Amino acid sequence: MSKSKILVIDDDVDLGTLLQRYLKRQGFDSETVHSAKSGLENIRESVPDAILADYRLPDMDGLHLIKKIRTIDAKVPIIIITGYSDVKQAIQCMKAGAYDYVTKPIQPEEIVHLINKAKSTTTAPVQESSTPNKTQQTEAKPIGYINGKSEVAKQINKLMKLVGPTDMTVLILGETGTGKEVAAKQIHECSKRKKKPFVAIDCGALPANLAASELFGHIKGAFTGALHDHKGCFERAHGGTLFLDEVGNLSYENQVRLLRVLQEGQIQRLGDEKTIKVDVRVVAATNEDLIKAVGAGSFREDLYHRLNEFKIEIPALRNRNIDIPLFANYFLEKSNLELEKEVSEIDENVINFLNQYSWPGNLRELRNVMKRAVLLAGSGKIKEDHIPYELKSESPIASNDINIQTLDLKTVVANAEVNAIERALSECSYNKSKAARLLGVDRKTLYNKLEQYNIKA
């Protein structure tokens, strides 16, 4: 059996070499390149089984790199390596088609676990042509499901149970990472269709020229590369539920096609003259304001109303603080199982930091934080040392580090320097040369500051 090929794209030579060696020891065929251009050339020659890419590369950022990769292959799992200050950009990468992201300093065990998970959960249906495929007939990026304690969580659960048994089209609104696909699966599980397929497709990650084929299928010879007949998502979801994530990203032409399917209950494969009847319940989701898109003319008003037979809004995690400890403990238990660890509980100070953080990545970010913390803790409690520095630095707790009675200029400057150095080191995986460049100082100056402030790195 051939080894899985993993491509590492990172301009940090030391980190790239360490990752490559570790992955080879774990049984992977690993290769490292140090620029986006080299990475794209490598992928064109031979598409790997998974890609690890730094968000900040000298010739291209992660978002543009993902879009370039997706023009070559639509299904290869891409894992973005990012500094914690770049989590918002990492979320944009997820929307562009990345599988997931990890934050620096990285843990090799976490990387391997994520690669294995990506390979297993992003397995597409059997290819019927050489056309790339980005759909999944199981979970796409699972977060897990648990009822919250807040009133809004109870209301959402009530609405899902209410609309689940019907065949109404549902529109789920919420920021990236709030668990919209999980809600869609819960609606499917509450329906009469629960024993039939649940098919998920990320409309935002599909190359524009392949979206129609993935949704509606094509016949042999419909276009260059169509070597066989291909069933689209509607046919694969027949009798069950089709989840259209980021539906606002569909082109105008595909919006027209989608509206016709919803109205007539039949599809027409690309290149085919005959129509095929389909029985599919559609659940759509978006993090965009579709009303504004309708006003701007980029989204059809008739399609919006057809999708919006029943609307469910999932609030951001920062607006439901009462649920954070519950979700954190859920992700702790889930991470224990996945990583084969025995972490028993979360320290109270950590819970305070979690409650006070803004969570731009919502539940997905909390899941990642808890998984990393479980990996670092191994057993016993999750303590402050096990969570990223940025979670603590954003919290009001951290702002009390400076006593109001000692707010002289020298103290303020010293604290600012310590925070900047620690943040730079964290972003650069504690590579001092890279951190010095990020801070705009030479390596010797950085070493002097580390000694001056007794910063261990």
5-121 and 401-457: identical CATH topology: no
- What 3 state SS string does 21-33 have? HHHHHCCCEEEEE
pLDDT score recorded for residue 404 = 42
pLDDT score recorded for residue 124 = 36
Render 230-249 in DSSP notation, one character per residue.
Answer: B--HHHHTTTSEEEEETGGG
Q: Are 332 and 341 in contact (CB under 8 A)?
A: no
| CATH entry 2.40.170.20 includes domain 401-457 | no
Tens-place pLDDT, residues 294-342 = 999 999 999 999 999 999 999 999 888 889 999 999 999 889 988 888 8
Peptide bond into 105 cis (omega under 30): yes
pLDDT score recorded for residue 320 = 87
Cα separation, 96 vs 105, in Å, equals 24
CATH of 151-314, one of 3.40.50.300, 3.20.20.80, 3.30.365.10, 3.30.70.3270: 3.40.50.300
pLDDT score recorded for residue 121 = 59
Q: Which CATH class is domain 316-387?
A: mainly alpha
Cα separation, 213 vs 230, in Å, equals 8
Residue with tokens 């397995």: 123
Residue 119's region, left for phi above 0, alpha for psi from -120 to 50, else beta, is alpha
Q: Are 219 and 120 in contact (CB under 8 A)?
A: no
Distances (CA, A) of 365 to 100, 118, 372: 10, 17, 11
CB neighbours (10 Å) of residue 433?
14
Tens-place pLDDT, residues 376-430 = 998 889 999 999 888 887 655 444 444 444 445 566 667 777 877 877 777 777 7
pLDDT score recorded for residue 129 = 33
Q: Where are the domains of the chain?
A: 5-121, 151-314, 316-387, 401-457
Q: Are 225 and 130 in contact (CB under 8 A)?
A: yes
With a cut of 70, list the residues of the chain below it in pLDDT: 1-2, 84-87, 121-146, 394-413, 456-457
pLDDT score recorded for residue 118 = 81
Q: Which CATH class is domain 5-121?
A: alpha beta
